[in-house]
Structures are given as C-alpha cells and as structure tokens.
C-alpha cells in the first residue's frame, strides 16, 4: 500500500512538472506604450485579438507609470529580466533612448510603433507615416480655410519623432496657402497643462483663427477650452485620432476633421509579426524596416460609419 501511495505521489509530481514545463514554454511578447491614454485602448484590443490566435504565446500590454523615457526604459529592463522574448514600444523620447534601446535590442528582438527610434538597433517600425498624416491634417486645414489664417498647434512630446514628423508634414501642406503655424505648445502628456496651454493662447493670442491637436488627448482639451470661452465654431480645428469627444466635435461640425491612425492594427499585426520573427520567419520585415499602416481623414461624411467600426473593434465584435 505504501509503495502504491509513493508511486501515485511520483506520478502526480511528474504531471505537475510536465504541466509546469508546458506553461514555461509559452513565449512572452510585450507591447509597451508611451503614456496612459484612452488612445491605446484600440491597440490593447488588437493585442487581445492576436492573443486568441497565438495560444502558444503570452501577450502583455504595458503602460509605464508615467510617460517618461526613464520609466519606459526601466519597464523594458524589467520585462527582459522577467523572461519576455520580444518587445514592441512607442518611444516617449527616441533621441535620448538610443543607448537603452540598443541595450534591450542586444537581448531580445525590439520593434517600435507609433513613435519610431530609427537611430537605434530596433528591427522594424510598424505604424503610421506621421509625415503623411501631418500632410493630411494640413490639407484639411487648407480646405477649411481657403482665405488663410494663423494656427496654433498643441502636442505632448515636442521632441518625439511622431510629433516632429506630424508638424513637418502639416507645415509642408500649408506652405504657400496663406496659413501660418505660429507655434506648437508641448505639455509632456500632462492633461492639465494641455488644457492650460489652450486657455493661455485664447487669452494671449487673439489673432489665432485655427488650432491643431497633434496628440489624441489634445483635441478634447481644445474642445473644452473653446466651449468654456464660447468660441466653438469660431476657431477652425483639425484634430488627430479618435477620442469620443473629437468624433463628437467632428459630427456636430465644431471640428473640421480628424486624422485617424489604426492602433488596433498596430497591436494585432505587431504581435503576429513578433511571433513570426521568433519562429524564424523574417519575411514580414521589409528592406527599409518600415511597415506603414495607412491613416485616414474622418469628417462629417464618414464619422458615423467610422464610429460604428471603432465600437465593434473595442468590444471585440
């Protein structure tokens, strides 16, 4: 009897060891964002969809405690130490993160999204062409202001590649059209400062007739400030991304248009790309290491259809 009990215990222990080994065999992929914002809910939904198609992987979606390069880089160090096999990240400060990115890239495959770090050893960038998105925003402003105007821009990280490229694209599109981008105010993803920046411009710069919100949360703050000042509809606004407030403003005609990206695809395609790479399939990485997911213009004509599609993606429908 004693020997039978011992055998049973050994068998049970063996099953537990095998089960543990199987669990440990799951490779881990991580998607790291640049700040806590509702914008990233779509990317998170894309990662969730990818998880359903990658049962042999454990997918993580991680927010840094704050939107700083130091905390992002520390988070990546923690992920690598915990056994993460590949990382995709939207860099908060690419120019000052090269050494950190290269350190991570020497240990695990590293990819970028949303905000690239092309000077680093990342394997590829998957996301929008921020320059082309900026051009689209500028073209929409030209349509809305055929007689010209003076614009003020608002953004999170002035030095981030996505901000620099969007601003450059916008300037390119408005050149020679009688529209001037007077300045761009940064807020370092501080939502209170984002609102204060708009309030300050409304008081100190009465010559401003148009505004551009370059990050997802900037247009809602512009809306709040214009509404409080009784200037909705008096100042022309072109936005970026698909915050519900932004889409509502486009629908009611308070904003001329918004330029939307496809963060759902970043999350979904990004996880599938990294899984394929770990399995030895590198065919998804083009020679120029840029995988561009197109942006689109949303205006009153297509905002309802876009909103319905957005809702379905977030709900997993």
| Position 150 in a domain | yes
**Interval 1-27 mean pLDDT:** 51
Mean pLDDT of 115-132: 95
217 falls within a domain? yes
Whether 140 and 254 share a structural domain: yes
What value does the mean pLDDT of the chain take? 91
Closest CA relative to residue 226, chosen from 243, 247, 209, 251:
209
CA 230 to chain centre: 31
Helix/strand/coil for 149: strand
Structural domain range at position 42 = 26-128+263-285
Of 260, 275, 296, the last residue of a domain is 260
pLDDT (tens digit per residue) in 48-63: 999 999 999 999 999 9
Neighbour order of strands in the sheet with 290-292:
57-62, 27-32, 86-89, 110-113, 124-127, 290-292
**Alpha-carbon dihedral 214, 215, 218, 223, rounded to 10 degrees:** 70
- The verdict on 182 and 250 lying in the same domain is yes
pLDDT at residue 158 is higher than 70: yes
**One domain, residues 195 and 92:** no
In angstroms, the CA 230 to CA 225 distance is 9
pLDDT at 24: 55
Using pLDDT thresholds of 50, 70 and 90, give the confidence band for residue 65: confident
CA-based nearest residue to 184, from 167, 196, 206: 167
Q: Is the pLDDT of residue 10 over 70?
A: no
Note whether residue 20 is domain-resident: no
Of the three residues 260, 276, 300, the one that is the final residue of a domain is 260
Q: Is the pLDDT of residue 286 over 60?
A: yes
262 pLDDT band (50/70/90 cuts)? very high
Report the alpha-carbon distance of residue 218 to residue 30 in Å, rounded. Answer: 27
What is the predicted pLDDT for the residue at 8?
45
Would you say residue 168 lies in a domain?
yes
Residue 14 lies in a domain: no
**Do residues 190 and 250 share a domain?**
yes
> Does 138 lie in the same domain as 225?
yes
Structural domain tally of the chain? 2
DSSP 111: E
∠ CA 277-113-272, rounded to 5°? 30
Q: Kindly indicate the confidence band of residue 22, based on its pLDDT and cuts at 50, 70 and 90.
A: very low
Report the candidate in 32, 43, 120 with the shortest Cα–Cα distance to residue 76.
32
Rounded alpha-carbon distances, angstroms, from residue 301 to 70, 198, 311: 42, 28, 18
In this prediction, residue 244 carries a pLDDT of: 94
**Rounded Cα distance, 246 and 257, in Å:** 9
Residue 244: CATH number of its domain? 3.40.50.2300
Q: Are strands 257-260 and 296-298 parallel, antiparallel or unpaired?
A: antiparallel
Strand 179-186 relative to strand 149-155: parallel, antiparallel, unpaired?
A: parallel
Residues 149 and 220 in one domain: yes
Instruction: Give the mean model confidence (pLDDT) for residues 167-191.
Output: 97
More confident residue, 157 or 266: 266
Percentage of residues in the chain with pLDDT exceeding 90? 80
Place of tokens 């901000």: 163
**Secondary structure letter of residue 232 according to DSSP:** B
Give yes or no for a contact between 209 and 178, defined as CB atoms under 8 angstroms apart: no
pLDDT at residue number 159: 86
**pLDDT (0 to 100) of residue 273:** 98
Q: With bands split at pLDDT 50, 70 and 90, how would you rate the model's confidence at 92?
A: confident
Residue pLDDT, tens place only, 289-310 = 999 999 999 999 999 999 999 8
């Amino acid at each position: 009897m004693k020997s039978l009990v011992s055998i049973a215990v050994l068998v049970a222990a063996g099953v537990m060891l095998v089960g543990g080994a199987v669990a440990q065999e799951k490779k881990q992929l991580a998607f790291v964002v640049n700040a806590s914002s509702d914008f990233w809910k779509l990317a998170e939904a894309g990662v969730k969809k990818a998880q359903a198609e990658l049962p042999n992987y454990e997918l993580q979606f991680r927010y840094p405690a704050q939107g700083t390069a130091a905390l992002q880089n520390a988070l990546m160090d923690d992920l690598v130490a915990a056994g993460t096999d590949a990382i995709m990240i939207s860099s908060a400060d690419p120019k000052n993160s090269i050494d950190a990115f290269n350190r991570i890239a020497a240990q695990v495959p590293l990819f970028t999204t949303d905000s690239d770090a092309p000077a680093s050893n990342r394997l590829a960038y998957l996301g929008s062409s921020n320059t082309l998105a900026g051009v689209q925003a500028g073209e929409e402003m030209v349509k809305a202001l055929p007689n010209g105007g003076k614009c003020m821009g608002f953004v999170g990280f002035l030095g981030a590649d996505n901000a620099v490229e969007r601003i450059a694209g916008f300037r390119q599109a408005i050149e020679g059209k009688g529209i001037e981008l007077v300045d761009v105010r940064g807020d370092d993803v501080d939502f209170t400062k984002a609102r204060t920046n708009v309030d300050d411009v409304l008081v100190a710069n009465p010559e401003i007739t148009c505004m551009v919100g370059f990050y997802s949360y900037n247009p809602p703050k512009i809306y709040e400030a214009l509404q409080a000042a009784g200037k909705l509809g008096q100042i022309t606004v072109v936005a970026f991304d698909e915050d519900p407030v932004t889409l509502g403003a486009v629908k009611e005609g308070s904003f001329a248009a918004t330029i939307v990206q496809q963060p759902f695809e970043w999350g979904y395609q990004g996880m599938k790309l990294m899984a394929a790479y770990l399995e030895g399939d590198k065919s998804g990485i083009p020679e120029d290491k840029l995988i561009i997911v197109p942006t689109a213009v949303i205006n009153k004509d297509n905002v309802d259809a876009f909103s319905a599609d957005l809702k379905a993606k977030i709900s997993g429908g």
